Structure 1
Amino acid sequence: MSSSTSHSIAAEADSARDDLVAAVTESLQSINFDDTPAADMIDMVDTTAKLSKMLDTLDGLPTEPPSLYFDLEGENLSRHGSVSILQLHVLPSSRTYLVDVHTLQHTAFSTCGGNGRTLRELLECDGIPKVFFDVRNDSDALYSHFNIRLARIQDLQLMELATRTFSKKYITGLSKCIERDACLPAAELITWKAVKDAGVKLFAPDYDGSYTVFAKRPLCDAIKLYYAQDAQILPRLWSQYNARMAPAWARKVHETSKERVTLSQTATFNGKGRHMALAPPGWH
């Protein structure tokens, strides 16, 4: 194949992706964002100055309930892929920060706030609870690419399993937990699904999307909303599960969350496959 032909095919693919982004963005205009967790409370953190300012807002936050709710996105999020965005929802301020790891790289975790604390130190601090939903691949990616050892994690997926009244053989994914347990009003649930579908169409190959959308800057509105909305809903799930979790199960969640982080840092960890859907040993 000639170089000119290759360039032509690449240009056509880029054009098709741009058309898809435009179409999805246009479809979002029909969504009533009054029914979402505040769309205007999303901050893109793509410079060290913005990151330092964000870190300054995280001092002295309550630890009960947890103030910090995390998620990560990337292409094949794992040691074998990449990290694009770290989402952080701060419960007391109701703000959601999208930390642009793709742009900032290691400075995303080494930049200091006014008190000298970095995002790395926050993630590794054993005195600050941090809520994730299925921390395994997130931890794998953070440890493999940035040598970050997560500490004091509360894994919402394990909290759901601990409070379940039916079979505990398999774990449940985030989308099903949100639909079943987040108690979203009907209009908000419809909007959540619309934003989820719009984001998936941009990156899922089955919908002619491409994972390259994770690395394209500036991020389109559809992807920003896709990134942010699940993190914004995590506190609702935490509240639901925490309210009905017995103390013995709470201790089990704490210990197994630590075990998940430790496992994700081993040389043989594999974050893909059917084994990832099984409950931890001894839970069922």
Structure 2
Amino acid sequence: MSARLFQKSDYNVSKLTTIVEDFDLLDHEALDDKPEPAKASSSKVKFLDTKPKVVEFLESIRVISSTTPYLYIDIEGIELSRHGNISILEVYVLPAGKTYLLDIYTLQEKAFSTLDSRETTLKRILESNEIKKVFFDVRNDSDALFAHYGIHLAGIHDLQSMELVTRSYSKKFVTGLGKGIETDAPITPTERLDWTRAKERGRELFAPECGGKYEVFNNRPLSQDILQYCCQDVEFLPTLWKTYDDKMTSKKRECVVKESIRRVNLSHMPNYDGKGRSRALAPFCFV
């Protein structure tokens, strides 16, 4: 086990920031009580491919007190793991209703180390326990971030674990994000059809089994279909979080927090296999 595993981040939380743009009129208590997640592709999208754009993004972020997470994150890449690479990191910011696509393929380490005027970096945000961040199955994302950029994720709410612990039927296997959206997201038939079509168009371009290539995530500029694909799933994460959180008890929340931490730590282990069949099995304590 790496000694890096349990090191604390060396930064001042007071220097961290959240979206100020469209934020001044935000009722923080209302955010806790009635989060309003966006439907797929309903938010504005900003593509961040230069250091000045990253600085602008960081300086538009400030910490708010909220029991509802407001950063929802997904990652696209080629063989997303320690053995592949990261192409795009997507961040949906709930209060602002916007999706930010960080061009990791172009920026590389600068995407995470660029400082704003308050000495905030994206790495520090990702490693902050105080800033809650939502992933759906954080394991491979964590593996890639830790292996390539030394980022030890903290403050994670793993949605796949939330779905599992609130499930009313067999908990032997975990479920995928697509199934979660299809069965649990409270969306209209039209929205569901639009999501399905966008999903299929994206897969046709990047999935080898559909004749695509993962390298399309590294093409610049991104095609409209890939841009849509990158945005759609992350924009549904707040909806799913709210759906599962409504079913949570304090004991279940504690279980999810422990499992989220366990998954991050597991992804740092030398023998972690991001494609192993055992990943589909639920943790013993959930069964």
Q: Distance in 1 between matches of 2:39 and 2:228?
A: 10
Amino acid across the alignment from 2:123: R
Matched, 1:213 2:246: no
Query: Is there any run of 5+ residues in structure 2 with no aligned partner, and where?
Result: 1-37
Residue 57 (structure 1) shift: 1.8
Which residue, 170, 173, 178 being the options, matches 1:170?
173
Checking the alignment, whether the CA contact within 8 Å between 1:39 and 1:225 is kept in structure 2 is no
Q: Contact 2:41–2:228 at 8 Å: present in 1 too?
A: no
2:46 alignment partner in structure 1: 43
Letter of the structure 1 residue corresponding to residue 200 of structure 2: D
CA offset at residue 221 of structure 1?
A: 0.9
Whole-Å separation in 1 of the counterparts to 2:89 and 2:69:
18
Inter-partner Cα distance in structure 2 for 1:109 and 1:275: 31
Cα distance in 1, alignment partners of residues 146 and 275 from structure 2: 17
Contact 2:47–2:100 (Cα < 8 Å) also in 1: yes
2:71 counterpart of 1:71: no
Scaled by the length of structure 2, what TM-score is found? 0.85
Cα deviation for residue 62 of structure 1 reads: 4.3
Match of 1:97 among 100, 110, 123: 100
Task: Identify the residue that residue 8 of structure 1 maps to in structure 2.
Answer: none
Q: Deviations over 1:181-204 (max 9, x none)?
A: 111111100000011101000011
Amino acid at match of 1:153: I
Question: Is the CA contact (8 Å cut-off) linking 2:40 and 2:195 kept in structure 1?
Answer: no
Map of 2:192 onto structure 1? 189
Q: Residues 238-253 of structure 1 correspond to what in structure 2 (within 5 A)?
A: 238-253=241-256
| Higher helix fraction (1 or 2) | 1
Within 2, Cα distance between the matches of 1:65 and 1:110? 27
Amino acid aligned to 2:218: A
RMSD: 1.3
1:118 partner letter: T
Matches within 5 A, 1:1-284: 37-39=40-42, 41-284=44-287
In structure 1, give the amino acid aligned to 2:59: D
Checking the alignment, whether the CA contact within 8 Å between 2:39 and 2:236 is kept in structure 1 is: no
Secondary structure of the corresponding residue to residue 72 of structure 2: strand
Cα offset for 1:205?
A: 1.7
Unaligned runs of 5+ in 1: 1-34
Structure 1 residue 114, shift from structure 2 partner: 3.0
Q: Deviations over 1:65-99 (max 9, x none)?
A: 11100000101000001100000000000000000
Amino acid at match of 2:76: E
Q: Based on CA coordinates, which of the two structures has the bigger radius of gyration?
A: 1
Tell me which stretches of 4 or more aligned residues in structure 1 moved more than 6 Å: none
The separation in 2 between residues aligned to 1:65 and 1:212, in whole angstroms, is 35
Q: CA deviation at 1:212?
A: 1.4
Residues 63 and 129 in structure 1, CA contact (< 8 A), matched pair in contact too? no
In the alignment, the residues of structure 1 paired with residue 65 and residue 49 of structure 2 have an alpha-carbon distance, to the nearest angstrom, of 26
CA distance in 2 between counterparts of 1:58 and 1:225 reads 24
Map of 1:13 onto structure 2: none
Identity %: 45
Distance 2:63 2:285 in 1: 37
